[in-house]
């Protein structure tokens, strides 16, 4: 046969598997955190103080706005963030991190770093940095632009006589 590759050499399979392993690790680390790993990213984004509004937050993290509502509900119920009215736009709410939220975030960051070290243990240190760099560069591209490449799927019908 032409290329019946091993599953192990399949990019999508490896990608999904590593991503799932990381997610599982993260879920363990984020045990009691309301939103799980996503709650962590919300917390981290809010700590940076960048987006402020719920919609901007949702767009940045790539979640639905209706999901962001009850995601923030839970995190707020845990006392890690606060929603206060935006003085400049009374429709919007400015999401701010509380002192407890900052402490929790710091702790989680430390735990996550440790857990990731174990996850990447099969790789040498310089390889770990390389992987992080490569993935970050790939993740940085605009998803809309990336999806435009899907037209490549409609190529010529090659010779596939089995």
Partner DNA sequence: GTCAGATGTTCTGTCGAACAGACTATCTGT
Partner DNA sequence: ACAGATAGTCTGTTCGACAGAACATCTGAC
Interface residues toward DNA, by CB under 7 A: 53-56, 63-70, 72-73, 83, 86, 89-93
Q: What is the closest distance, in whole angstroms, from the C-beta atom of residue 129 to a second copy in the complex? A: 11
String of b and e for 57-77 (b: at least 16 CB within 10 Å)? Answer: bbeebebeeeebeebbeebbe
Going 33 to 61 to 115 to 48, the CA torsion angle's sign is negative
Q: What is the closest distance, in whole angstroms, from the C-beta atom of residue 56 to DNA in the complex? A: 7
Nearer to a second copy, 85 or 123 (CB): 123
Nearer to DNA, 44 or 55 (CB): 55
Per partner kind, with CB cut-offs from 5 to 8 A, the member of a second copy, DNA, none near residue 55 is DNA
Per partner kind, with CB cut-offs from 5 to 8 A, the member of DNA, a second copy, none near residue 143 is a second copy
C-alpha torsion 90→92→96→101, nearest 10: 130
Nearer to DNA, 93 or 111 (CB): 93
User: Is 70 within 8 Å of 93 (Cβ atoms)?
Assistant: no
């Amino acid at each position: 046969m032409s290329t019946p590759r091993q599953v192990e050499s399949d990019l999508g399979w490896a990608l999904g598997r590593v991503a799932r392993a990381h997610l599982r690790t993260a879920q363990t680390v984020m045990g009691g955190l309301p939103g799980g790993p996503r709650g962590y990213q919300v917390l981290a984004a809010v700590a940076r103080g960048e987006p402020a509004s719920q919609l901007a937050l949702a767009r940045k993290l790539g979640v639905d706005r209706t999901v962001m509502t009850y995601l923030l509900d839970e995190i707020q119920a845990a006392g890690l963030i606060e929603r206060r009215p935006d003085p400049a736009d009374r429709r919007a709410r400015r999401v701010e991190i509380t002192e407890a939220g900052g402490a929790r975030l710091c702790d989680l960051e430390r735990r996550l770093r440790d857990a990731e070290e174990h996850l990447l243990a099969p790789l040498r240190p310089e390889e770990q940095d390389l992987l992080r760099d490569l993935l970050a560069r790939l993740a940085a591209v605009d998803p809309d632009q990336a999806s435009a490449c899907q037209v490549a799927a409609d190529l010529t019908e090659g010779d596939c006589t089995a």
